[in-house]
């Protein structure tokens, strides 16, 4: 007679499970690396708990997509290349609003943003000036010329916007038409903002949306660890690189 050895059910450390569960209930899109970084837990332990509890974030199915290899939106040091883009956000009684973002492609820091009803160049201009003040402390020509990447939309190719960029000493850099992956860094930030902020709130107005988005951007820059940065925050990455 043979007996099959019954393996005991794996034991979980409940003092670790509770805070992990609370965090992913509040932020369902967080993966185990982000949760481990925010809670200060060992990432392998958190991954094991995710697996046993079935809490893994499901990856969206992606078919074959040919990628353009030229012009990657990366930078080796801060203020070498920034990237900017626009997206739409529903603002309740105020309808669709337009959000312009500017990021540093080295540190991933969200330096400037502006939310308004207008999708014209003034929105993008305000975001750029916000970024310049955040990084350099004032408006004026930058100490050293660097690149500002964008798509070929009417906003970023308008006379007003191109003149403003030139006046501050930046050099515009446009991606190949119909290849948004060449501006993938800011596109990814927009997707993260929508998943972790905009889609999780029912904004009542433009003012409400601005307040919530401002809080999330502060969290993103100062507290949220980034896998591509070795689980450092964008602000910490800038401090180390500066």
Kindly report the average pLDDT of the chain as a whole number: 84
85 neighbors 150 (Cβ within 8 angstroms)? yes
Which of 38-52, 103-117, 149-163, 208-222 is least confident?
Answer: 38-52
**pLDDT value of residue 49:** 75
Beta bridge partners of 103: 83, 110
**pLDDT value of residue 5:** 57
Instruction: Please state the separation of Cα 219 from the chain's center in Å.
Output: 11
CA angle 197, 210, 135 (to 5 degrees): 95
Is pLDDT at 47 greater than 70 in this prediction?
A: yes
Which of 19-33, 60-74, 157-171 is least confident?
Answer: 60-74
pLDDT band at 150 (very low <50, low <70, confident <90, very high): very high
Is pLDDT at 65 greater than 50 in this prediction?
A: no
pLDDT band at 167 (very low <50, low <70, confident <90, very high): very high
Which of 7-11, 33-37, 136-140, 218-222 is least confident?
Answer: 7-11
Q: Is the backbone of residue 78 left (phi > 0), alpha (psi -120 to 50) or beta?
A: beta
3-state secondary structure 173-226: EECCCCCHHHHHHHHHHHHHHHHHCHHHCCCCCHHHHHHHHHHHHHHHHHCCCE
**pLDDT value of residue 16:** 74
Q: Give the C-alpha separation, 132 to 149, whole Å.
A: 15
User: What are the backbone dihedrals phi and psi of residue 167, each rounded to the nearest 5 degrees, phi first?
Assistant: -65, -25
Q: What is the CA radius of gyration of the chain?
A: 21
**pLDDT value of residue 34:** 77
pTM of the entire structure? 0.75
Which of 53-62, 89-98, 142-151, 201-210 is least confident?
Answer: 53-62
41 neighbors 16 (Cβ within 8 angstroms)? yes
Q: Angle formed by the axes of helices 159-167 and 121-136, to 10°?
A: 10
Rounded to an integer, the average pLDDT of 22-34 is 70
Instruction: Please state the separation of Cα 240 from the chain's center in Å.
Output: 20
**pLDDT value of residue 69:** 46
């Amino acid at each position: 007679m043979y007996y099959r050895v019954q393996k005991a059910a794996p034991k979980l450390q409940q003092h670790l499970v509770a805070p992990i569960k609370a965090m992913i209930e509040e932020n369902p899109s967080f993966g185990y690396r982000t949760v481990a970084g925010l809670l200060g837990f060992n990432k392998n332990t958190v991954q094991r708990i995710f697996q046993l509890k079935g809490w893994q974030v499901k990856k969206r199915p992606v078919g074959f997509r040919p990628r353009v290899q030229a012009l990657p939106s990366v930078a080796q040091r801060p203020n070498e290349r920034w990237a900017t883009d626009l997206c739409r956000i529903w603002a309740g009684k105020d309808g669709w609003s337009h959000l312009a973002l500017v990021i540093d492609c080295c540190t991933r820091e969200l330096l400037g943003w502006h939310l308004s009803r207008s999708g014209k160049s003034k929105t993008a201009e305000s975001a750029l000036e916000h970024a310049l003040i955040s990084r350099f402390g004032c408006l004026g020509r930058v100490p050293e010329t660097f690149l500002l990447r964008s798509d070929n939309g009417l906003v970023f190719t308008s006379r007003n916007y191109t003149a403003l960029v030139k006046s501050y000493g930046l050099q515009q850099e446009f991606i190949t038409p119909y290849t948004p992956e060449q501006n993938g860094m800011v596109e990814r930030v927009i997707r993260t903002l929508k998943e972790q902020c905009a889609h999780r709130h029912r904004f009542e107005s433009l003012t409400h949306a601005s307040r919530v988005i401002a809080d999330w951007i502060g969290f993103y820059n100062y507290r949220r660890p980034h896998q591509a940065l070795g689980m450092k925050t964008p602000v910490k990455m800038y401090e180390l690189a500066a």
